[in-house]
Amino acid sequence: MKRLLFGVIAVVVATAACTHQPKDPIAELQDPTTCMQCHPQHYTQWSGSMHAYASQDPVFVAMNNRGQREAQLGTFCAQCHVPMAVANGRTDFTNFDPTQLSPAEDGVTCFFCHNVKAVTADHNNGLELAMDQTMRGGAQNPADTPAHDSAFDPTLMASQTNQSTMCGSCHDVVTPAGVALERTYTEWQSTIFAMNDPQKFLPVTCSGCHMISSTGVIAQGPGLNVGTRTDGFHDHTLAGIDTAISSFPDGSDQQNEIETELEGAIAIVGPTPTGGGAAPGGICVVPENGGELTVRVDSFQIGHDYPSGTAQDRRAWLEVNAYDGSGNVLLASGVVGSDQDPEDIDDPMINCTSAGSGACSGFWDRAVEADGVTPAHFFWQVASETSHLIRPSVTLDANSPLFDHSTTAVYPLGASIATVDHVEVKLHTRPITYAVLNDLVSSGDLPAMYASSIATVEDLGSMKMWTKATADPVTGCNPN
């Protein structure tokens, strides 16, 4: 999704006949509990989502408050985390306290997404609200409701038509220093998922993966006559990679939702053989260069880099352990303790300095301050970054050198190659580091109780084993 500057995009609407007047006042429509009356399932899912949590998150509160002191951020963070507060004219977010928010301003609300009349920029919340009584949605010929006027908006339609512009506008962030730090939308734009090829069911947009659609009733309640629609109901749990670290509705389910979202998306797997057939397992023990262990990581259903978003804060890395027949460890890489960051261990494969196949098994953006060396814990400190991420598919042309977008990590084994009996590989992912949390604790912005609340995600598809007994005698790779 390389930078694409949008002009104002006029939202094409087809408004249903409105026979019930007056509609609910704008102030009531801004309150999600008003929406709950006719959209109870949407409301329940949203209430346990990270969109609803956006303003309550202790890390956001701590980072905003510190950033206000150190960098006078104004509404920079608030414009995406509490956008309705900004839209309603609030400008002072120093010493921000989420408990002082009204329900209408708490998090990324229903009104904020469904009252957008134009997308004016592709980053830093370039969404222009109408601030009227019309709720926009992806359903053509919307049913009449006594609560609000209704309009069809193609930017909110099913995944193959909306082009991700609304999501991208908040999920790409350019810092005040001009660093394009969060690039999820930009990344998506460069992938096959953004291609317009209906015969291949493309594009697949943000909502296609994060708001799975199903046939269902969009609204229900007394006096409503709303029928079912194919792909009419969109899931509003909006799972990504982050989870709530404080008490929050459905917080215990968020980890399961993330693991379901990632299932099959990242895998340890070899390339598909020429002519088709099942791909090998992705772990090989080979004699090249005196004896090597190789691990190939590939992405299949992810329309952006991995990890994406705040990739400077996220951590994904391979843990690789090789054993002999007696269980003795011959090679151990990426063995990170539950209370450690990957940087805390002396492992050059994870803490690599150059991107590229064979050079790196730690996947995140290396963000540094102006001296080019000091790690930047907070976005306002970032002067530059080097990206080390798992790449998505960018072409359908099997003859293109870009067709294979995988990453292969190469581990030297030397003479011990002859005694390798089995190898275990896992991919771990964390949404944020202990270093960032501890820094916020030390400055007094984050209660210490949250500094140990990091959930580690492990995708079952990225857990593989190689055994000498089952390895292919020609390739040295595991068969599945």
For 325-383, how does the pLDDT look when each residue is reduced to its tens digit (9 = 90+)? 999 999 999 999 999 999 999 999 999 877 565 678 999 999 999 999 999 999 999 99
* Single-letter residue type at 305: D
Distance CA 107, CA 70 (A): 24
Mean pLDDT of all residues belonging to the chain? 91
Q: What is the pLDDT of residue 18?
A: 37
**Distance (Å, whole) CA 246 – CA 34:** 25
Whole-angstrom distance, CA of residue 172 vs CA of residue 3:
9
pLDDT at 460: 72
Q: Using CB atoms within 10 A of its CB, is residue 421 exposed (0-12), middle (13-18) or buried (19+)?
A: middle
Section 33-38 average pLDDT:
96
Residue that is written with structure tokens 């099959």 in the block:
264
Taking 3-state DSSP, the helix, strand and coil percentages for the chain, each rounded to the nearest 5, stand at 25, 20, 50
Q: Give me 111's structure tokens.
A: 């009104």
248 pLDDT more than 60: yes
pLDDT on residue 159: 66
Q: Average the pLDDT over 83-105 and give the result.
A: 96
The mean pLDDT of 275-295, rounded to a whole number, is 91
Q: For the segment 286-330, what is each residue's pLDDT rounded down to a tens digit?
A: 999 999 999 999 999 899 999 999 999 999 999 999 999 999 999
Q: Decide if pLDDT at 276 tops 80.
A: no
List 407's β-bridge partners, or say none.
297
Cβ–Cβ < 8 Å for 303, 188: yes
Q: Which of 479, 480, 478, 475 is nearest to 288 (CA)?
A: 475
**pLDDT tens column, 154-212:** 888 876 678 899 999 999 999 999 999 999 999 999 999 999 998 888 999 999 899 98
- The answer to pTM > 0.95 is no
Question: What integer is the mean pLDDT of 207-231?
Answer: 88
Confidence (pLDDT) at 19: 42
Per-residue pLDDT tens digits for 402-455: 999 999 999 999 999 999 999 999 999 999 999 999 999 999 999 999 998 788
> Please, what sign has the CA dihedral across residues 151, 152, 156, 158?
positive
pLDDT tier at 263 (50, 70, 90 boundaries)?
Answer: confident
- Total residue count of the chain as it appears in this document: 480
**Exposed e or buried b per residue across 373-386, where buried means at least 16 C-beta atoms within 10 angstroms of its C-beta:** eeebbbbbbbbebe
In angstroms, the Cα distances linking 99 to 229, 247, 300, 370 are 38, 14, 41, 36
Q: Does residue 255 surpass a pLDDT of 90? A: no
Section 30-42 average pLDDT: 97
pLDDT at residue number 221: 86
Which tokens go with 230?
């194919």
pLDDT number for residue 358: 65
What pLDDT sits at residue 44?
96
Q: How many CB atoms lie within 10 A of CB 4?
A: 13
How many Cβ atoms are within 10 Å of 314's Cβ, its own excluded?
Answer: 21
Query: Tokens 């950033």 correspond to what residue?
Result: 67
pLDDT score recorded for residue 355: 59
- Cα separation, 364 vs 351, in Å, equals 10
